[in-house]
Structure 1
Amino acid sequence: MAEEKSMFHALSRVGSTENSHPAVSVSSTPSIRSLGNASSSTLYHDHADPEKNADITQHGLPDSVAKDVNLVDWNGPDDPEKPLNWSKRKKWTNVLIIGFLTLLTPFGSSMFAPGVPDMMEDFHSTNVTLASFVVSVYVLGYACGPLVIAPMSELYGRVPVYNICTFWFLVWTVLCGISVNMPMIIVMRFLAGLFGSCPITIGSGTIADCFRQEERGKVISAWTLPILFGPALGPIVGGYLSEYVGWRWNFHLLAIWTAVMFVLCLFLLPETYPPVLLKRKAQKLRKETGNQELRAPSELTGKTPSQLLLLNIIRPTKMLVRSPIVFLLSLFIAVIYGYLYIMFSTLTVVFEGQYNIGGGNVGLTFLGLGLGQIVGLLLFASTSDRYLKKQAAANGGVMTPEMRLPFLVYTSGFAPIGLFLYGWSAEYKVHWIVPILGTMLISIGMITAFLPVGSYLVDAFTAYAASAMAANTVLRSLGGALLPLAGREMYNKLGYGWGNSVLAFIALAFIPLVWLLQKHAGMLRTHPRFQLQL
C-alpha cells in the first residue's frame, strides 16, 4: 500500500473550559471532502499504484459527511503502527505463524487418503464413489467457508476470524477421529474443511496488509508452500500412521497440532488489517481525549452493522460473477486443482494395483507431487519479483498487476505433459519412477499457475485481497471437491492412459485462454464496464 500524506495534527479541546486534552490526529475539512469523493463504492484500480489509499478508501464515505468530523488516520506515512512499516522481524514472524496455521488444513485434506480402505472396512462399506467423496468433501467445505470468512475478516479484522475458525477446526477434527459411521465422518470432514479454509482464504489479505507490491512475490511463495505441499506431505505421514496405529490417528495427530497452533495464535498473532487498527485507534483517542466526534474511516460508511455484514458477505460472490478476470483465472485454477485431488484420491489405487506397492510405502508415491511443488515454488520465488522490477523499469518505474501473468503463460505446459507421462507409463506399468516423475510435472504446473494468479489477485484487488482470494478459493475448491468423484470411474472406463490424456487435452485447451488473459487482463481489470460496486 502506498504511503499517504500526513493528513492531520491538530489540538482538540472538548468539555469544559478547564479541561485540556492532548493533540490527536484529525483530518482537515478539505481532506475529508476529497477523501469522501475519492472513496465511492466503485472499486476502480489505478494502473500506477493499486495500493493507493487502500487503508482509507476501501470504506466508502458518504458525501454528506459533516465538515467538522474528526477523521482518525495514521500519523504520517512512516507511522510505526502501520503494518507496512513494521520491522521485518515482526512481519516475518507473523508470516511464519500464518504459514504453520495454513499448513494444518491442506495437510489434513489428504493425510487421511491412505487410510480410506481401512476406514471403509471398519464401516463395512464398498461404495467406490463414497470412498472418493470422504476425501474430497473436505475440499467442498473449502468452497463454502470463504464466502463468509473473507468478508468477516474485512469487517472485524483478521485475528478474531483466525482464532474462532481454528477453535472450530479443532472441534470437528476431534469428532472425525471418534466417528462411528460413514455419514458422521463425512459431515465432520465437511465442517472441518469449512472452518479450515480460514488461513487459506485470508492469509493473502494478511500479506497485503504488511508487504508492498514489489515485496509480495517471495512472501506469497513462502505462504503458498504449505497450501500446496501440505496435501502432498499428508499422505506420506498418513500412510504410516494408518498402517501402524490405525486410520483414526490421522485425526488425533492433526487435533494435537491444531491445539498447539490455537494457543500460539491467541498469544502471538497481531492484528494487521488497517481499517480495524484505525478503528481501535479512534476508540482509544475518544477515551483519552473525551472527543466523541473522532472517527475512523470504517466508522463513517453511513451503514448499519447488519448492512455492512451483508455487503461484505456478497462481495466475493459479486467479484466471481461480475469480474471476468477473477472468474476466468479462478476457472483455470479450479481445473488444475481438481487434477491434483484426482491424484490424491487415485494414487493409492494406481500404485497398489499396477505396481503392488502397499502398506505405509504407498504414501511415498505422493512424493512426486511434493517435490514438484518445491521446484515450482523455487522457480517462481527466484524470478517473480525480479521480473516485476525489470518490467517496471521498462515501464517508467510503474508497476502493474499484469506484470505477474507472463510467468503463468510460460509454465502452462507442465501439467498436460505430466498428465500424458503419468497416464501412459502407469497404463503400461513402466518403472514406477516414471509415473512419479509425471506427477511431479503436474505438480509443477499447478503451483506455477497458483502462485502468479494469487499474486495477481492480491496486487490487483489490494483493498479487497481477502475477498478476491475467497472468490478464487470457492471455484478452486469446487474443482477439488467434484472432479475427483469422476476420477476412478473415468479410469475404469478409459484406462489410465486415455483417462489422463482427456485431462491433458483439457489443460492444453486452456493455454490459448491463459495467453489471451495475459494480453488483455489490464483492459478487463480497468474497463468501466467491469468496475464493481463493492
Structure 2
Amino acid sequence: MGHDARQEAEESIEFTVSWDENDPMNPRNMSKARRWLITTIVSLGSLCVACTSSIYSTTYDQIEREFNSSRLVVTLGLSFFIWGLGLGPMILSPLSEFYGRRKIYIASFTLFVVWLIPCAVAKNIQTMLISRFFNGLAGSAFLSVAGGTVGDMFDRHELALPMMFYTATPFVGPEIGPLVGGFINEYSTWRWTFYVLLIWAGLELVSIVLFVPETYHPVLLRYKARKLRQDTGNEKWKAPTERSQRSMAQMIMQSMYRPILLLTMEPMCLSLCIFSALLLGILYLFFGAFQLTFSTVYGFSESQCGLCFIGLFVGMLCAILTDPFWRRNYMRLESAHKGRGNETNDFQPEWRLPPAILGGPLVTVGIFIFAWTIYPNVHWIAPIIGSAVFGAGTILVYSGIFTFLVDAYPTYAASALAANSFTRSSFGGAFPLFGIQMYDKLGYHWASSLLAFLTLLMAPFPYLFFKYGSQIRQKSRFATGER
C-alpha cells in the first residue's frame, strides 16, 4: 500500500505542469517594453477608479440645487462608491483565482463604464446613489486584482519600481479628482464630470481588451496543461490548480470570513487596520472640508478649491520617492540582526514598520498645521503645507502597514489586506457623512484638531509593534516569524 501511494505521488509530480526555462507562455519572459505597457494600463485603470471616487465631491453644489437635496444626501454618493470599493474585493479576488485576471478586468471595467452612464444622465438623486454604489463595486477590481498583475510579470529583484508605480495610483487618484473636477464644474455643468470619466474609462477599456493579456500563472498553467493533453492525448497532465479540491463557493466564503477572523482575533491586525482606516476617513472627509474652508475663509472659487489638493498630491509624491531609503533601512536592520549572531529566524516583519513610525507623527503635525493656520490673515499656502505634511505621513503609514501585514501573515496575506481594505472603506465612506456638520458645529480649527487628536492616539501603535511585535506574534494563530 505504501509503495502504491509513493508511486501515485511520483506520477502526480511527473505529470504536474510547470514553467520551462524561457517558456513563451510565462509572463515574466515578455519583453520589458510590453510588461511596462501592461503595468501602465492597469495603473491608469486604478487611477481612473480612484479619481472617480473623489471627483464627485466637486459636483455637490450643482446636484444639490438641481435635485433639491440636502448636502448629507448628496454626500451619500461619495460614501456608497467607497463602500462598493470595499465590498468588491471580497468577491472579485477569489473569482480572479478561478477565471484569471483578464476576464475579471474586462467584465468589471465594462460594468464600470456602464454604471457611469446613469450617473451622467441621472434625473434624480436616487438614480445617482444606486449607480455610484455599483460603479464602485465594478471598479474595485483594479484596486484588488491589478497589483497581482504587476507581481505576475516581474521577478522579485525587479519588482520594486513597477510596484511603487502601481501602488501610487490609488493614493494619487483621489487628489487629481477634485483638481480636475473643480475646473469642469466651474465652467460647465456637473454632467460633464461624468462625460469626461466616460471618455477616460472607455479608452481604458479598449486598451485592456487590446493590450492586457492573461498574466495569472495558475490560470496560464491550466491553459498549458489543456494544450498538452490535446497534443499528447495523455489525460494525466494537470496544472497545480486542477489538483485542488476547493470549489468557488468555498473560496468566496473563505475570503469573506477570514478577514473578519483576523480583525476580531488579531490585536495587531485590528489596530493597524483602524489606523490606516482613520487616515482614509480623514482624507475623504477633507474633500468636503477643503471646499468649505477655502471657499469661506479665503473666498476661493470652485477651480481654486480644486487646486488646493496639489498640497496633498505633492506631499504624497515626496513620501513615495523616499521608498529607496526605507528599503536600505530594512537591509540595515536585517544585517544588524545577523551581526548579533541570529542566523536562525533571520526575518522579522517588524522591520517593515519604520515608515509608519515616522508617518504617524507627521500625520498629526500636518493636521494641526492645517487646523491652526486657517485664518483670513494667514496666507493660504500655510494650511496647504499642513495638508502636504499630512499627505506624506499618510503614504508612509500605509506603506509600512501594508508590507507589515503581508509579511506578518504570509499564509493569509490576501485576507490581511482584505481586512485592511474592508476597514478602510467602512471609515472612508462614513467620515464624509459627518464632516461638514462637524466643521459647522465645532468650527474649522477645533474640528480639524479633533481629527489630529484621534491620529495622535493611534500614532504609538507602529512603534509598539516594532518593539514588541515578535512576542505578540508568538501567541498568534495566524502570524508567523518566517516566510
User: Which moved further from structure 2: 365-374 or 150-159?
Assistant: 150-159
The answer to whether structure 1 residue 338 and structure 2 residue 338 are counterparts is no
Residues 496 and 340 from structure 1, CA distance in 2 versus in 1: closer, same or farther, beyond 3 angstroms?
Answer: same
- Residue 529 of structure 1 aligns to a residue whose secondary structure is coil
How much has 1:206 moved relative to structure 2? Answer: 2.5
CA distance in 1, matches of 2:400, 2:157: 13
Amino acid in the other structure paired with 1:389: M
How much has 1:215 moved relative to structure 2? Answer: 4.4
CA contact (8 A) 1:78 1:85 kept: yes
Matches within 5 A, 1:191-206: 191-206=134-149
Query: C-alpha deviations, 1:463-507, integer Å up to 9, x for none?
Result: 765544332211111111101212112112211111111111111
TM-score when normalising by structure 2 = 0.89
Matches within 5 A, 1:360-509: 360-379=303-322, 381-396=323-338, 400-426=348-374, 430-459=378-407, 465-509=413-457
CA distance in 1, matches of 2:207, 2:103: 13
Amino acid in the other structure paired with 1:101: G
Correspondence for 1:294: 237
Correspondence for 1:106: 50
Amino acid in the other structure paired with 2:311: G
Amino acid in the other structure paired with 1:411: G
- Residue 11 of structure 2 aligns to a residue whose secondary structure is coil
Root mean square deviation, CA, Å: 2.8
- How high is the sequence identity, in percent, across the aligned residues? 33
Residues 524 and 255 from structure 1, CA distance in 2 versus in 1: closer, same or farther, beyond 3 angstroms?
Answer: farther
Q: Which has the higher contact order (CA 8 A, sep 6+)?
A: 1
Correspondence for 2:459: 511
User: Which moved further from structure 2: 196-205 or 84-93?
Assistant: 84-93
CA contact (8 A) 2:186 2:303 kept: yes
The answer to whether structure 1 residue 190 and structure 2 residue 190 are counterparts is no
CA contact (8 A) 2:74 2:125 kept: no
CA distance in 1, matches of 2:92, 2:457: 33
TM-score when normalising by structure 1 = 0.81
Residues 84 and 400 from structure 1, CA distance in 2 versus in 1: closer, same or farther, beyond 3 angstroms?
Answer: farther
User: Which moved further from structure 2: 387-396 or 495-504?
Assistant: 387-396
CA distance in 1, matches of 2:215, 2:148: 9
Matches within 5 A, 1:83-162: 83-84=27-28, 86-125=30-69, 127-162=70-105
CA contact (8 A) 1:146 1:471 kept: no
CA distance in 1, matches of 2:240, 2:326: 34
Correspondence for 2:183: 240
User: Which moved further from structure 2: 368-377 or 463-472?
Assistant: 463-472
Report the structure, 1 or 2, having the larger helix content: 2
Which 5+ residue runs of structure 2 have no aligned equivalent? none
CA distance in 2, matches of 1:393, 1:76: 34
CA contact (8 A) 1:71 1:297 kept: no
Amino acid in the other structure paired with 2:436: R
CA distance in 2, matches of 1:466, 1:377: 23
Query: C-alpha deviations, 1:184-221, integer Å up to 9, x for none?
Result: 10111111111111111122322333344554443332
Corresponding residue pairs, total: 471
CA distance in 1, matches of 2:8, 2:409: 26
CA contact (8 A) 2:94 2:251 kept: no
CA contact (8 A) 1:155 1:309 kept: no
Which 5+ residue runs of structure 1 have no aligned equivalent? 1-28, 34-63
How much has 1:182 moved relative to structure 2? Answer: 0.9
How much has 1:300 moved relative to structure 2? Answer: 1.4
Question: Which residue of 186, 191, 196 maps to 1:253?
Answer: 196
How much has 1:358 moved relative to structure 2? Answer: 1.6
